[in-house]
Structure 1
Amino acid sequence: MTLAVASNPHTSTSHSMVAFEGVTKQFGGRDGQSTFTALDGVDLTVPKGAITGIIGRSGAGKSTLIRLVNGLELPSTGKVLVDDVDVAGLSDAGLRTLRRSIGMIFQHFNLLASRTVYDNIALPLEIAGLDRAAIKARVAPLMDLVGLGDKAGRYPAELSGGQKQRVGIARALATEPKLLLSDEATSALDPETTQSILDLLKTINRDLDLTVLLITHEMEVVKAIASHVAVIDKGRIVENGRTFDVFTQPQHATTQAMLAGLTGSKLPIWITSRLHDSQQGAERVYVRLIFFGATSEQPLVSGLINELGVEVNILAGTIDEIAGEPYGALVVSYPATADILARAEQFFARTGLKTEVLGYGA
């Protein structure tokens, strides 16, 4: 059997799989009068066929956001559209149909201990009323896809955490969804297992053309696989866009704080302790050079040294990849004389090298 993604021929011109339009979600207080606003005026689009990450601290509103997508919660105001369908406007039957088109994987796997790997994956198909032959035709290739073809008769207690999550992923794919929701799906896994699960999600996204919306507080997860990202803070989307753009040029303080150290933005204390904001009387300027796109493959550091004709000290640096694109950052220092500062600015403007003055010091 060939695995396929469910599609809707009437919405093929749409470029978004999920759209939040002015969404607010409030919960009533214990006294029946006071309310808590979990989401506050959210506008967000999840592109079709992409992996989009929603990142935020605990309590920011991430889980509420994802529960609105499959109708487990309904918005207090605004609309949640899934493939152009207003979730809140669906009947009970329509909601059941929608949920079959949305797969869900969880942090703690949610497997049934009394059922084998095969039977856990088959469960949503049994609920949907498929016969045994149809279920087998669907489950067998899914077990191969997630690397569990030899584990059909095993029980969850016999599996590792990574294997349990693979069962959860296969079960989520059983109904041939067009959208996969991941709620902190790697938070309970060790780093090596996390990477294997992320690789699997990338494969599923690519081979099945499946839209993935993942909720996480782990910046490394988003950096590794998400093409798009939205940052949520206190119920508001404070920043969103291409992962590479947001991670390399974060604008909001929440994003900057969460990214500290991930993309070379956090400086060693021995550097920060000697920095101040005033150029007056300073011997050296401390600058972060950021390399990506065309500048990532050019010998710009040696070019800077030749341009300035002075010693340029390299103090810290990182080379990385963000959403499949190369990225590098170096912290350098050089003399803070007016002539050298002017020549450096001309060099940066001419080469397109992005820079950030971190401060001045001895």
Structure 2
Amino acid sequence: MNMTVLRNTATSTPQVLPGNEATVPEAPNPMVVFEGVAKRFAAGNTGAEVVALNDIDLVVPRGSVTGIIGRSGAGKSTLIRLVNGLEKPSSGRILVDGVDIAGLDERSLRPVRRSIGMIFQHFNLLSSRTAFGNVALPLEIAGVGTQDIEKRVAPLLDLVGLSDKRDRYPSELSGGQKQRIGIARALATEPKLLLSDEATSALDPETTRSILALLRKINKELGLTVLLITHEMEVVKAIADHVAVIDGGRIVEQGPTFDVFTGHVHETTKALLGGLAGMHLPEFLTSRMSQLPEPGSRTILRVIFKGENATEPMLARLGSDLGIEVNIMAGAVDEIAGRPFGMLVVSLRSNEAKIAEAQQFLANHGLSSEVVGYVR
């Protein structure tokens, strides 16, 4: 956890962390709502406190896949532990399906927890139980009869594609298969909400893609709300409808995934997005680039393609309609939350007025652009 040390609360006011630019989106009948949530822990025997979360306002729409992303220590794990009542907030409210779980005692929490499934980074399977036995465990704890367990577990193993592995032990399964068993177990009590704690971090890229496809299938076919925490932008980009970026215990940016990824304003989001293809200029270009034009230099323009415009031949039209010589220097086309997104870096040989005309032409067709420098 990222924890900012505070002074003894008996003599000072808790520190308010700066830079909370996030706003809470409206969502009818949301599954999870955080209202002004803070979480503080005692720091040893000093009387000081550490802040794990501060002033969290967040809405998880019902039926959505919502990603919480941030660096290690940002407060992601603390946040998700608050949702299933493993931790209590120091202040604020947490509503899960309309129930304020912060005010519930351990006994009252039990039925709420049965409505919340959880999948873990390291699977947390019992080595002494078969795949069937691991999935059946929460049902046994809930007192479900043997016949009803069979009726519930067999379809779940089929759902995750492991019917033929029901009698295998975890040591006989691959990492991806173990995680599929973990997902089936999380679904055993027919939850309304599925929590994913870095569920793909221990998996290779190909297995990660298959697990994400399974989570999206579960979300669509079962209408299950999924709240996942991760430090991997690729995970959020692949399946999340909404995303919240957490830094220093605060939500600094949130909204629909496509909007946040393509129109981000916070420095933390920009830094996290740095690993995605096409988000940065290539080094071979930046090493030659200056910030001021020189005689004979070409203007370097970054053009952002969003949604339906990502596949339109606008650069070809730019050359033909305006008579500007366009040279593509770098670029990438990707898909974010099911919508195309692309960035192209181009060089234009023209005067300042013509460059401005080119940018206006692009803007008129729904494309944003910016001059990033000049190259001779």
Does the Cα contact within 8 Å between 2:28 and 2:61 map onto a contact in 1? no
Quote how far apart the aligned CAs of 1:16 are: 1.0
Unaligned runs of 5+ in 2: 1-26
Does the Cα contact within 8 Å between 2:42 and 2:48 map onto a contact in 1? yes
Q: Deviations over 1:162-202 (max 9, x none)?
A: 00000000000000000000000000000111111001001
Q: What's the counterpart of residue 118 of structure 2?
A: 104
Give the counterpart of 1:86 among 92, 95, 100: 100
Structure 1 residue 298 corresponds to structure 2 residue 307? no
Q: What's the counterpart of residue 178 of structure 1?
A: 192
Q: What's the counterpart of residue 217 of structure 2?
A: 203
Count matched residues: 350
Q: What's the counterpart of residue 120 of structure 1?
A: 134
Q: Which amino acid aligns with 1:74?
A: K
Quote how far apart the aligned CAs of 1:345 are: 2.5
Q: What's the counterpart of residue 321 of structure 1?
A: 335
Give the counterpart of 1:21 among 35, 56, 60: 35
Structure 1 residue 75 corresponds to structure 2 residue 75? no
Which stretch of structure 1 is more off in the superposition, 268-277 or 154-163?
A: 268-277
Q: Deviations over 1:227-271 (max 9, x none)?
A: 110000010101000111111111100100110141411111111
Does the Cα contact within 8 Å between 1:307 and 1:343 map onto a contact in 2? no
* Distance in structure 2 (CA, Å) of the matches to 1:218 and 1:282: 42
Q: Which amino acid aligns with 1:184?
A: E
Q: Which amino acid aligns with 2:190?
A: E
Which stretch of structure 1 is more off in the superposition, 35-44 or 283-292?
A: 283-292
Does the Cα contact within 8 Å between 1:282 and 1:360 map onto a contact in 2? no
Q: What's the counterpart of residue 61 of structure 2?
A: 47
Q: What's the counterpart of residue 13 of structure 2?
A: none
Q: Secondary structure at the match of 2:245?
A: strand
Quote how far apart the aligned CAs of 1:281 are: 5.2
- Residues 333 and 125 (structure 1), Cα distance of their counterparts in 2 relative to 1, 3 Å cut: same
Q: Counterparts in 2 of 1:48-67, with a 5 A limit?
A: 48-67=62-81
* Distance in structure 2 (CA, Å) of the matches to 1:242 and 1:102: 23
Quote how far apart the aligned CAs of 1:309 are: 1.2
Q: Which amino acid aligns with 1:274?
A: R
* Distance in structure 1 (CA, Å) of the matches to 2:222 and 2:229: 20
Among the aligned pairs, what percent are the same residue? 63
Does the Cα contact within 8 Å between 2:131 and 2:165 map onto a contact in 1? yes
TM-score (structure 1 length as normaliser): 0.94
Q: What's the counterpart of residue 260 of structure 2?
A: 246
TM-score (structure 2 length as normaliser): 0.90
Which stretch of structure 1 is more off in the superposition, 108-117 or 293-302?
A: 293-302
Structure 1 residue 346 corresponds to structure 2 residue 360? yes
Q: CA RMSD in A?
A: 1.4
* Distance in structure 1 (CA, Å) of the matches to 2:142 and 2:217: 26
Give the counterpart of 1:285 among 299, 304, 309: 299
Structure 1 residue 229 corresponds to structure 2 residue 243? yes
Q: Deviations over 1:12-66 (max 9, x none)?
A: x943111111111001001241111000111010110000000000000000000
